[in-house]
Amino acid sequence: APVPGDPDTIAAIVAAINADLGATPAQQPELFAAFERAPVDPYRQATESDVALILDALAAAGVAVGDPEAMESLIAEAQDYFWVDYRLDGFGAWTAIHPAFADPTDVPDDLAPENAYREIPAELYHRFRFEAFIEQKVSDELFVRPIVQRLEAATASLVGRPFVYQNQPDNFTYEEAGNPTAILADASIFLPLIDGQPAGSAFDLDGRAFDLDLLALDKVNARELFQSVAGNVEGAIGALGGLVEEGPPPEDPEDIFALTAHWVEYTLIAPGGEEETYRRYLLDRIGPERRAAGEVRVAPGMAFPDAAQPLLTSLTVSVMPAGYPAAYVAERFAERVTAEVAVFNYFFDNPDATTPPRQLLEALTPAEDLMLNIALEAGHQEAADTRVYAAEPLVVIYEQGLLAGRAQPTGFTRVDIVNNTRRVFDIASGIPRPAPERAIRAGVWETWAERLPLRHLPAGEGYDALSLIREAVAAGRALNVIAPDQAEAVDRLGYRGPTRESILADLERGFVVIAPEPAAAEAGMLGWWRVHPETGETLGVVTGGYGTSTVEYVISIGMSVGFSLPQIVMCRAGGGSPWCCLMNAVAYGAAGFGFGLFLGGFIGGLVGNAVTGSLAAFVLMDIGYNAAGFWFPTLPFDSC
């Protein structure tokens, strides 16, 4: 048999595959360009100029990176040491497994446990909490109501189990999914779903929240009940307002109740109980500046039903450790592809069906965390004398949804790095030393790599921190360096609205912000770097607090990845039939996603490093996406 990983053998196999899939002979030589480069080259090319920009800006502002006392605090942070003892039967000797000592003879004789556990206490785990809220305007006051409360778990139990949060209108049908405006105009209530199951409290566009038990009512009766009660209350409040002889005229009774915002919160809970919460708005009809100034009226241009389209956003929440093992990645993708084949077979056997059996849908677990983990981890194998590890769980969100106020149905897909706390050490001397400049390089890589999962989408509008910063610098806008104790400079420098709030949040967390000066009329997105001055932890951030890359695109058939309500809406809006849109949502895009990553990652792993470390895999991922594009249109999707 050929030697595993032989480049010539692999090249011949891939050439045959792509010939079958339609790649021309002229295209094929480009497929193997990755094999001819050292894997580190793309990493250096992608990060070098941005690292230099950050270091130059910090130096010009007199900001030193790295704390001389950092080693002491880092040792204290990592000092708790755990190992396990095992025996194979009740009579055998106990054997200790030490993660720090490969050779049992190296274990110090005086190493003794302070505590022993048969069940590990909850307070020793990192934990993660997910919550969702709505904000309701009642006359001239705002009230916050939780709709999904304290979904909390140890992060260890969430590894490899991303979950999907979305809101489903009660009147949603696959047949009517092509007209989201009509659906939203006629929706009486929205059901929060986690992995397709009802979770928490339902709510409506007037901002009322109510127990899901009420949904046992017929939905038409429920709509009439809620609207009747609301109308009576609003009319009474309006009548009372008319009795006031002085002051401003009373509000329109129809505007007494209104849903003004919907957001989710991601909370990381460290061992010991310290919490860090990150808020992300799905809908905000008032705006942070107006809300801070006490304004409660809905902002212009945010009228329902069009403004409600962001409520259909789907969030795939991934809580990850550093680095999935290659065998685990291969097993997860094999399971996913098996599930996709089962869905294909079901629809081919039942062409009139609109939904597959629930057990088939449940097998289509999200796979976004695999690609994201591979992308984020690949650059951290840049140098043998560097060690990088995650001091906290990585939290990355894959978002898909619809944008409001567009002439054509427009979707967006976004990767949001919520938390990427890293520790980076130089081990060249044999003794670990903090390496803050390498930490900056690691953060730049992660900001660059987060765009990779979006590259298979069609070209369209988009933004990411890297591009926004580079465009601002190219336009001659100066870089402002703002230290954590200089929060008052944010207003003086002219940052406004959501950008201002997001920069202030980074400063409050102890980051130095490197931000281009705002444009003369800053109405869109602004990107900036945040750098922790002690550790060098770095991430590119955009307005809204997102560690993000986003692609926007006009909807057409077959652009969905995975299974969620927004993707079916997008497909129907493009003219697809109900059953075909569902098949697209669960299989077409997902299979292209799985096929591209699995083929690219596996072959790239053989040629380069392990699957999780191969830069060649990224180039080959694009081959997989293109190949899937050649392959799938040949299937009998005529009814689409």
In eight-state DSSP terms, residue 532 is -
Q: What percent of the chain has pLDDT over 90?
A: 22
Predicted confidence at residue 456, as pLDDT, reads: 57
Residues 216-258 pLDDT 10s: 544 434 444 444 444 444 444 444 444 444 444 444 444 678 9
d(CA 534, CA 66): 4
User: Strand runs (DSSP E) across 295-336, as ranges?
Assistant: 314-320
Q: Please give the order of strands across the beta sheet that includes 527-531.
A: 479-482, 512-516, 527-531, 538-542
CB 156 within 8 A of CB 125: yes
Pair 466, 528: CB distance under 8 Å: no
Pairing of strands 209-210, 202-203: antiparallel
Q: Where are the alpha helices (DSSP H) in 350-453?
A: 358-363, 368-378, 436-449
Token pair recorded at residue 32: 């193997």
pLDDT value at position 17? 66
Supply the DSSP string of 17-50, one letter for each residue: HHHHHT--TTTHHHHTGGGGS-THHHHHHHHHHH
Strands 127-138 and 141-154, bridge-based pairing: antiparallel
Q: What is the mean pLDDT of residues 366-388?
A: 77
Q: What's the pLDDT score for residue 606?
A: 33
User: Which pLDDT score is estimated for 353?
Assistant: 73
The C-alpha atoms of residue 464 and residue 526 are separated, in whole angstroms, by 9
Inter-axis angle of helices 326-349 and 368-378, to 10 degrees? 150
Q: Which residue, among 381, 373, 389, 367, has the nearest Cα to 320 in the 3D structure? A: 373
What is the number of other CB atoms lying within 10 angstroms of the CB of residue 490? 20
- The kind and range of the H/E element at 516 are strand 512-516
The arithmetic mean of pLDDT across residues 521-526, rounded, is 68
Amino acid 113: pLDDT: 85
Asked which of 113-117, 184-188, 235-239 is least confident by mean pLDDT, the reply is 235-239
| Distance in angstroms (rounded) separating the CA atoms of residues 371 and 375 | 6
Q: Which of 1-5, 67-71, 309-313, 471-475 has the lowest mean pLDDT?
A: 1-5
In 10 A of CB 398, how many CB atoms? 25
pLDDT band at 565 (very low <50, low <70, confident <90, very high): low
Out of 160-164, 395-399, 618-622, least confident range:
618-622
Distance CA 457, CA 440 (A): 29
Give Cα separations from 535 to 198, 219, 519 (angstroms). 42, 54, 31
C-alpha pair distances (Å), 144 with each of 49, 127, 429: 44, 25, 55
